[in-house]
Amino acid sequence: MKALRVVALLLLVSCLACSQDDKEPEFSILGYWNLSMLENPFEVASADAPSFQERYIFNDDGTFIKFSTRLGGDLRNGQLPLQSFGKYAFIDAPDASFQELFQVELIYETNPQIAGSCLPEMEFLVFDNARKLKNLAWAACDGPVLIYTRK
């Protein structure tokens, strides 16, 4: 009889464990993100490899570091890229039709000229369903869409 109770208890526990929905793990933005592509928002299916290098490092304390050779410096020639520090915050995506999961607001505390945006000292990135970060702010200034992928 005691063995029957143990078996019944195990069946009950296994049924409860199976009834839980499998949840997709939340995605973390932490780590290294490298510029991988430039898209022209005015041309369909237009994507180019960037002629410069950029990288974001997102830390778990709400800070980020950005490195860029866009405004000078060449990593291949041993020159140091421009770097900037700041804080980031998550914003809910306003429009699901663009396949956005969330937006990231970047506020620059040093070297704000490195921001890829029309706005001084700020930048907005969009995290989409394809697990890419996109800077759409340059497109508002007639520039390219900058696409970053995780390293």
**What burial class does residue 135 get, using C-beta atoms within 10 Å of its C-beta: 0-12 exposed, 13-18 middle, 19+ buried?**
buried
Give residue-wise pLDDT tens across range 35-90: 999 888 777 666 778 888 899 999 999 999 999 887 654 445 545 678 999 999 99
* pTM as predicted: 0.72
Q: What is the CATH number of the domain that holds 36?
A: 2.40.128.280
Pick from 21-25, 50-54, 116-120: least confident: 21-25
Is 69 part of any domain? yes
Question: Residue 122 is part of which domain span?
Answer: 24-150
Q: What φ, ψ does residue 122 adopt, rounded to 5°?
A: -135, 155
95 lies in a domain? yes
Q: Could you report the per-residue pLDDT of 69-81, keeping only the tens digit for each?
A: 876 544 455 456 7
Whether 14 maps to a domain, the answer reads no
Q: Encode 23-55: b = buried (16+ Cβ within 10 Å), e = exposed.
A: eeeeeebeeebebbbbbeeeeeeeeeebeebbb
Q: Is residue 12 part of a domain?
A: no
> What is the reported pLDDT for 88?
96
